[in-house]
Amino acid sequence: MRGAARRGVLGADFFDRSVHDVAREMIGCRLAVGSTAGVIVETEAYDATDPACHAFGGLTTRNEVLFGPPGRAYVYLSYGIHSLLNAVAEPEGSAAAVLIRALEPVEGIRVMRERRGRGDELCSGPGKLTEALGVGLNLNGAELAAPPFEITAPEGDWTGVEVVAGPRIGITKAVELPWRYCAAGNEHVSRRPLL
DNA sequence: GCCAGGATCGTCT
DNA sequence: GACGATCCTGGCG
């Protein structure tokens, strides 16, 4: 198994560079967790110079994963209810991550519906997609290149899909930074227009 | 269909 | 002791 990564599977090297490049190129990628999977259609970039980032203000026990090596999952609880999934980027010591905001469900949709229990939109928000995929705090710090995670490069219709940038959502600091990335034509997915 | 308000808990000051 | 990278429900037009 060692070194036998399947073609198109993204490893740690993919995340070992500017968080903005990573956030942009993650659009269209397929994210699988266990038996469920979806195509990433919306992301947001955060880095240590960003007041809205958890790492802004220094290292704590909560955000230590952000400072660690790239290619890992940073999962945390928001509003005491929702788990949010991030992909840690940039070299170890440089705190940066990409928040996965929305997916287009492609596999295990039946399971997603059972997990969600209500609503039509299975993965149209960061809190919803984690529930649909079964991602919880227990996966904080887990490697994205190892089970249950798998991220693969864009295929088919998603190859070279146009990506547009806009302001971020749901934050009170540095709202104006255009670090939100979205697949053109899917701006509606999270029900938050870019403008 | 749109908008306003409440839920809920780990983490930081 | 207060806040937050959110979601869902209920009420009204």
What secondary structure does DSSP assign to A37-88, as a single string? EEEEEEEEEEETT-TTSTTTT---TTTHHHHS-SSBEEEEEETTTEEEEEEE
| Dist CA A42 CA A24 (whole Å) | 9
User: Is A93 within 7 A of strand B by CB distance?
Assistant: no
State pLDDT tens for residues A61-77: 999 999 999 999 999 99
**Residue A157 lies inside a defined structural domain of this protein:** yes
**Residue A17 lies inside a defined structural domain of this protein:** yes
Residue nearest to nucleotide B6 (CA to C1'): A79
User: Is A57 within 7 A of strand B by CB distance?
Assistant: yes
**Residue A163 lies inside a defined structural domain of this protein:** yes
Residue range(s) defining the domain that contains residue A108: 6-183
Instruction: Enter the tokens of residue A157.
Output: 């219709």
Phi first, then psi, for residue A16 (nearest 5°) are -90, 60
**Residue A173 lies inside a defined structural domain of this protein:** yes
Q: How far is CA A191 from the centre of its chain?
A: 17
* Mean predicted confidence (pLDDT) in A129-143: 94
Q: Angle at CA A107, nearest 5°, toward A112 and A9? A: 120
**Residue A88 lies inside a defined structural domain of this protein:** yes
Mean pLDDT, all residues of chain A: 89
Which nucleotide minimizes the distance between its C1' and the CA of A50? C5
- Total domains, chain A: 1
User: Is A119 within 7 A of strand B by CB distance?
Assistant: no
Which nucleotide minimizes the distance between its C1' and the CA of A140? B10
Any idea what the CATH number is for the domain that residue A65 is in?
3.10.300.10
User: Is A61 within 7 A of strand B by CB distance?
Assistant: yes
Q: Tokens 């809190």 — which residue?
A: A127
Measure, in angstroms, how far nucleotide C1 C1' is from residue A85 CA. Answer: 28
Whether A103 contacts A85, CB under 8 Å: no
**Residue A65 lies inside a defined structural domain of this protein:** yes
For residue A6, pLDDT over 80 is answered with: no
CA distances from A172 to A4, A53, A101 (A): 44, 11, 17
- How much of chain A, in percent, has pLDDT values that exceed 70? 92
Those nucleotides of strand C lying less than 7 Å from any protein Cβ are 4-9
